[in-house]
Amino acid sequence: MEEQPTLEQDCLLPLERQFHEAARRNNIGRMKELIGMGVNIRAKNNMGRTALHWASGAGHEQAVRLLLEYEVSVDDKDKFGMNALLLSAWFGHLRILQLLVNSGAKINCEDKNGLNILHCAAQRGHVHVLEFIMEDLEDVHLDRIDKLDRTAFHLAAAHGQLDTLDFLIGFGCDHGIKDKEGNTALHLAAKNGHSSVLQRIIELGLDLEEKNGEGLTALHTATEGGHLDCVQLLIQAGSKVNAQTQKQMNCLHYAALHGFDDIAQALIDAGISVDAANHQNASPIHTAVLNNFPSVVRLLIEAEIDLDVTDNRQQTPLHIAAENARQDIAEMILLAGVNLNLTDKQGKTSLDVAARGNHISLVDMIIKADRFYKWEQDNLRTDSDSWAVKPLTFKQDHGVETQHIRSVMWCLATKYLKHNDWKKLAHHWKFTDAHIRAIEQQWAGTKSYREHGHRMLLIWLHGVIMAAENPNKGLYEGLVGIGRRDLAESIRKKANADSSSSKKCTMM
């Protein structure tokens, strides 16, 4: 409902339009003048509103009294089912409401949503109006429901009206009624982030584990709404963080789904299960990866979630990252260490999935990681603290310190390596057939082998640097090993040359 109704007067005659405007502005003189000219004081605009609607909604007592003197209908409703009495309750105009009641207005009226005067005043937080309704009017049922089966208590909770809530509690309202969706006031306060109201309802002793029609507790609705303060309140009050919905989703699934990393951290700190699967057998990390929320993924990895768990497609989180080109997330997963041999329902590894999607950067990252895991295993270095000289990353290298050797490799790949030389080098350096297939899947025209060779060399360079080995020596030995001593000697000379010539693509 609007804060103040706006004039919609397309169907009114000019004098009727002026009369509505005068009522809205409490211009008594103009109203009387127009009445003397014979204006239809009961005229309705295209929204079904009369002058009494405007005067009542605006709280103009003089205008309302004048209209009542001329015995206008007090119960006429607009297209939303709102009459003057409901408008006065909605906008908190107690004197207008009293005038209308004394003029015979029907107390138990409702709008099209089933809201009565108690609902309207409660939702808007007009306690002084509520006091009059409950103390001076008869036959007003405190727990009457609207068309969503919500009571005034529900509406006060949903809209954060703490004073109203306390008033209704004092009058003995039923705290535990559920609406059509199975929500209690606790669910609604949590869902909408009203922490002070939520605290008050918690103090009433309501069951924190009460579930709505979808199996959500208040903690679920607070999480889904992204309200950290409400989540913390409920956890402190004893809410079970591992409660699951009908879809077997816990709160961490919702935090992952919406990217609420602060809430995810609070849930993890409270001991939530990071490996719980939902109805599609997707864990929270599957959800976070799919929705591209790196901060949540990081939190889950730090909480030591199982990165090899699969969903209903038998995809690991890395499969999902590879399929959707989530490079930052893939980096986190690869750094944490995963089983790169796991296949999905189609028998594809995460490398296969990345290659099929032509996600070149991801393909190269996965191959780097696979080679690094093998090197680490061969060297019995399983602790991340043992990772060599520079911080581990699987992303493309743009470092100044490797610029010279990268320039040399670019020249080598694009000018001097023959069609199959790069594959020979790859085999010499123990690239697997799967690695080579994944690189080769990229199509860059009839000279694709040049790009393939360049990528392979950069992947190899990553491993050499992480192992703290000499790339010039390794490149020399590799070229000799495939029968290209001519290039090897050129590389050796190049390594000894002035670095200022490194940008020139000449090696022979």
Residues 2 and 123 in one domain: yes
Looking at residue 508, what is its pLDDT?
45
* Last-in-domain residue among 240, 274, 304: 240
Looking at residue 381, what is its pLDDT?
54
Share the mean pLDDT of the chain: 92
Confirm whether 323 is domain-assigned: no
Number of domains in the chain: 3
Residues 411 and 485 in one domain: yes
Residues 146 and 210 in one domain: yes
- Domain enclosing residue 470, as ranges: 400-501
**Taking 80 as the threshold, does the pLDDT of residue 3 lie above it?**
no
Residues 207 and 124 in one domain: no
Looking at residue 387, what is its pLDDT?
42
Question: Which pLDDT tens digit goes with each residue over 22-37?
Answer: 999 999 999 999 999 9
The span from the CA of 499 to the CA of 406, in Å, is 12
pTM above 0.85, yes or no: no
Question: Which pLDDT tens digit goes with each residue over 413-449?
Answer: 999 999 999 999 999 999 999 999 999 999 878 889 9
**Taking 90 as the threshold, does the pLDDT of residue 507 lie above it?**
no
Residues 23 and 115 in one domain: yes
**Taking 60 as the threshold, does the pLDDT of residue 490 lie above it?**
yes
Residues 167 and 125 in one domain: no
Question: Which pLDDT tens digit goes with each residue over 344-385?
Answer: 999 999 999 999 999 999 999 999 999 999 998 888 654 444
Q: Are 347 and 319 in contact (CB under 8 A)?
A: no
139: enclosing H helix or E strand: none
* Last-in-domain residue among 74, 108, 135: 135
The distance between the two most distant Cα atoms of the chain, rounded to a whole number of Å, is: 112
* Last-in-domain residue among 181, 214, 240: 240
Confirm whether 279 is domain-assigned: no
Confirm whether 35 is domain-assigned: yes
CATH number of the domain residue 152 falls in: 1.25.40.20
Question: Which pLDDT tens digit goes with each residue over 182-192?
Answer: 999 999 999 99
Residues 192 and 76 in one domain: no
Confirm whether 245 is domain-assigned: no
Confirm whether 355 is domain-assigned: no
Confirm whether 354 is domain-assigned: no
Q: Are 218 and 190 in contact (CB under 8 A)?
A: yes
Q: Are 99 and 129 in contact (CB under 8 A)?
A: no
